Structure 1
Amino acid sequence: MLQQYHRIQVAIDGSSEAELAFQKAVEIAKRNQADLMLVHVIDTRAFQNVSSFDSAMVEEVSETAKKTMAEYVQTARDNGLEKVKYFIEYGSPKTILGREFPKREQVDLILIGATGLNAVERILLGSVTEFVTRNASCDVLVVRTDLHNQPMVTPKK
């Protein structure tokens, strides 16, 4: 019997790696007739360092995230996936993506890009992807390639 996934989570952070994870997640969700949950985490720790913390800043970031996520949902639907929705969460990306969201939403597969946007955080605190792979209670697919299993082409410097 083949493994069947029912509730698939994909982390969306705006990086090219997350884009590859999204593309693969759409195809896996279609093959499994699964629910696809797109998750974007607004890291509230980033706002703690702003001396004149302004709620308008959080609202602006949230509105931008909503528009971006709605575009991802539409792309998934345009590619034949019906059961797709997005979630915008606030807090630590590691714990939300690796523990809290999968438990709350009964996720059975997480797709995540091999690396995300924040290189400094990866060096200082460790990778979100590494944390998710070590702590998630479900299967995790770390995406490194495109839909044709070719490595992502990085521009030469």
Structure 2
Amino acid sequence: MGLKYQNILVAIDGSTEADRAFKKGIEIAKRNNATLLLVHVIDTRTFALIEAYDTVIGDRAEKLAKDMLENYQKQAVDEGLTTVHFEIDFGSPKIKIPRDLAKKHKIDLIICGATGMNVVERFFIGSVSEHITRYAACDVLVVRTEKDS
């Protein structure tokens, strides 16, 4: 088994960590001549908190995600990648990314940002990156924010 990746998924959520993961994803995809898949999962669990949820909220979240991913896709193409796709999904990112999307797209590397959750939040709900690392059937790279020297 070689160390060459063919299908790389980068989880994008708009955070600084996800932006750094995206930049690392570009570099790894360039070195491997790989396909880059940018994924944003709209966490529908947050909609349960909104009593009068209607489709407007979901549509707006999808439009914002599409705009964000199109921007990232353009950046990747401008950096020289030729095969860059994106996908928006609904549900729990903890489940959708490692179990559904990675399998659907035959992903061999998932890149995600580390979370900014504190210890208490991680204890009760766990981080998305932790779940991806635990349940993915492929390699996972968790990218942290640069520390000031």
TM-score range for the pair, normalised by the shorter chain length = over 0.9
Other-structure match for 2:17: 17
Q: CA deviation at 1:2?
A: 5.2
Q: Determine the C-alpha separation between the residues in 2 that align with 1:111 and 1:140.
A: 6
Deviations 1:7-55, CA, capped at 9 Å, x for gaps:
0000000110000000000010011000000000000111112111111
TM-score by length of structure 2 reads 0.92
Q: Which 4+ stretches in 1 moved above 2 angstroms?
A: 118-124, 151-154
AA in 1 matched with 2:74: Q
Q: Determine the C-alpha separation between the residues in 2 that align with 1:2 and 1:55.
A: 46
Q: Determine the C-alpha separation between the residues in 2 that align with 1:35 and 1:84.
A: 6
Does structure 2 retain, via aligned residues, the 8 Å contact 1:17–1:143? Answer: yes
Q: Percent identity?
A: 49
Q: Determine the C-alpha separation between the residues in 1 that align with 2:79 and 2:35.
A: 14
Q: CA RMSD in A?
A: 1.9
Q: Determine the C-alpha separation between the residues in 2 that align with 1:10 and 1:74.
A: 15
AA in 2 matched with 1:50: I
Q: CA deviation at 1:92?
A: 0.5
Check if 1:144 corresponds to 2:147. Answer: no
Tell me, which stretches of 5 or more residues in structure 2 are unaligned? none
Q: CA deviation at 1:152?
A: 3.9
Number of residues of Structure 1 aligned to a counterpart in Structure 2:
148
